[in-house]
Structure 1
Amino acid sequence: MSKWVTLDCNGSPHCRHENGFAAYDGKFYLFGGRRIQPVDIFDPVTQTWTTASPPPMEIHHFQPVIVEDEIWLLGTMTGEFPRETPLETVYIYVPGSDTWKEGPTIPKERRRGAAGCVLHSDGWIYVVGGIVDGHHSGTQAWFDRIHPVTGEWQVLPDAPNKRDHAPCAIVDDRLYFFGGRETGRHDGTDYNALFFATISDVDVYDFASGTWSVHSEPLPIQTAAGGTGVLDGKIHYVGGEAGRMEAFVEMQIFDAAQGTWRLGPNLNRARHGTNCCVYDRKLWIAAGSGARGGEPELTSIECIDIQETS
């Protein structure tokens, strides 16, 4: 079975966490995270990092989606812990021109951060969960969609569980919402308590029937803020954070056809607060934080041959 490989790169990215990481046109884009930082671009062929333009403001806590030649950010926050603010509009990065722009306005009553976000083959971007008041209060089970061409926003039925810091993924016309926590489940004085509010349920939305259910197989190791990638009908959920001080190294693999979870090879470096890319039949993960919360911020990148783990 293949193992994660830590790459020896030419150059290095800016250290960051609660960032985005997305693959587009043969390159990987590392952007956002705490503080305003430049976009870092990775070439997997030459294993070289280069630097591009920063966003116009601090952006963090999002799961990016590729929409044609743009990278869209929804369910995004700005500001400092613990009262971060959801953005009023969609933010969009255009790799071809190395530019940022604002997209459609998000309805005021549906703004939140740390939400799951995914593009469906029907052309709509789906946004699920999230929290309205940073790490303080207001974890939601909201489910919405936005059309990137028209900007139309539609409110859909709530998911079974409130959760934030959770990714989502689509396999076989079903959306899976997993991991994460109910960050708002604390008394507002002990913010350490939020790390223990993880959720084991896997929520499943069936696009054909338009209904939610809770899967019979829960997430084996409860973590929030892990990265995820889909290949060959399997969801790979990597790393994360929970109540202990150390971040997690585990890769949890969900076989949608079998409806079962299993563990894959561990990361070389525990991390959370970043995303995964799928490229060249490999899973890639970079940056993030190596421990619960924000430190230490990482610059390393690892990859694994998914085909050999399936």
Structure 2
Amino acid sequence: MAVRILSILPLILLLGCATPRTDEAPVLGEWETVDTETEPVARHEAAFVAVGNRYYLLGGRGIRPVSIFDTRTRTWTKGAPPPVEIHHFQPVVYQEEIYLLGAMTGGYPGETPLPNVYIYNPVSDEWREGHEIPEDRRRGGAGAVLHDGIIYLVCGIRDGHRGDHKQWLDAYNPATGAWTPLPDAPRPRDHFQAAVVDGKLYAAAGRTTVAATNPFANTIGPVDVYDFEEEAWTTLETEIPTQRAGTAAIGLADRLIVIGGESDSQEPAHADVEALDVQSGTWSALPPLVRGRHGTGIVHDADHLYMASGCGQRGGEPELSDMIRARIR
């Protein structure tokens, strides 16, 4: 037996198999529709997040009650509606509450940025108005992430869908209300979601919206990365393969996953799911959504990714009321 092991050892080393890799890319299975006892309230330009063993759909066009999915009973129930119309934002979970900032209110195309942070408490099913956002830093359609207890708000648009796109990056301390402008991103973008991967902020996809010409055009290929420690931006050499806006984004291991979206290249919402390996800078395609959508979020729970609601075509119709998932392997 000892002789046989020694005889194949050089071959094992040659093939690089002596030590298994520990940085394998997450592999997603095919997306499927989740069978639930009830359905959420259909909506888009909304938020989808998990707190504890429940998922929450919040906001969207109009004033919609919160839709709450209990993973134990597999049922959707209705929670409290927000005090104002809130849409076009990326939610952040901080100390078991859901923070909404960088949001818009009002109707297309002249939506206005909300002047305050809004907070939803899942335990009490109550909304409250939080800190005021500095008037000269208000915008909607921005990316928002939590890193080391600070919420970072990146880019966005000031004048609804008409223009005034921003390159801004701000740090908001939810404990104190302190608001600190940071170095501008390399380019403006709106209608996207940011994510933290390997200790850095990634801004990918999105567009600079101009309703007067074509609200679905001006999609963005370059990916901009903010290093929290260096307090500096860089732009990756490789652009996102499928340019689109209204995307969801999440960090998974050493990958940035960008999901769904809308563009002027097709009428149906995008079903594309693409992953960026942040170590190599290369993109790969993952299994597409069972139905394309934009204007919602993504939840990572145990060994699955979940999406709910959103819009099935570019623009505002049809609003969806389903939930889909893909297994992480």
Shift of residue 258, structure 1, vs aligned partner: 2.3
Match of 1:16 in 2: 43
**Do residues 275 (structure 1) and 297 (structure 2) align?**
yes
Letter in 1 for 2:294: H
Residue 128 (structure 2) aligned to one of 80, 98, 101:
101
Secondary structure at the residue paired with 1:269? Answer: coil
Question: What CA deviation, in whole Å up to 9, does each residue of 1:138-190 have, x standing for no partner?
Answer: 11111101001000000011000110001111112211001000114x6x3x3
Q: Is the 8 A contact 2:197 2:252 kept in 1?
A: no
Is residue 149 from structure 1 mapped to residue 175 from structure 2 by the alignment? yes
Partner of 1:230: 251
Post-superposition shift, 1:236? 1.4
Alignment of 1:110-259 (within 5 A): 110-121=137-148, 123-184=149-210, 188=212, 190=213, 193-243=214-264, 244-259=266-281
5+ unaligned residues in a row in structure 2: which ranges? 1-27
How many angstroms apart in 2 are the aligned matches of 1:268 and 1:2? 11
For 1:163, the aligned partner's letter is: R
Q: Deviations over 1:211-262 (max 9, x none)?
A: 1011111111001011122221222111000002111001011121222111
Deviations 1:98-122 (A, max 9, x none): 000011100000000000000002x
Residues in 2 aligned to 1:77 and 1:242: alpha-carbon distance in whole angstroms: 21
Instruction: Assess if the C-alpha contact under 8 Å between 1:118 and 1:168 holds in 2.
Output: yes
Percent identity (aligned): 47
Alpha-carbon distance in 2 for matches of 1:125, 1:211: 17
Q: Is the 8 A contact 2:197 2:253 kept in 1?
A: no
Quote the RMSD (CA, aligned, Å). 1.0
Count of matched residue positions in the alignment of Structure 1 and Structure 2: 301
Q: AA paired with 2:218?
A: A
Larger Rg computed on CA atoms: 2
Post-superposition shift, 1:75?
0.5
Does the CA-based 8 Å contact 1:16-1:298 persist in structure 2? yes
Q: Does 1:92 align with 2:156?
A: no
For 2:239, the aligned partner's letter is P
Deviations 1:27-82 (A, max 9, x none): 10001000101000012333211111100111000000000121001110000000
Normalised to the residue count of structure 1, the TM-score between the two structures is: 0.95
- Distance in 1, matches of 2:50 and 2:134, equals 28
Residues 230, 278 of structure 1: 8 Å contact kept: no
| Letter matched to residue 96 of structure 1 | V
Work out whether 1:51 is the aligned partner of 2:78.
yes
In structure 1, C-alpha distance between the alignment counterparts of 2:325 and 2:282, rounded to whole Å: 24
Where in structure 1 are there 5+ consecutive unaligned residues?
Answer: none
Q: CA deviation at 1:194?
A: 2.3
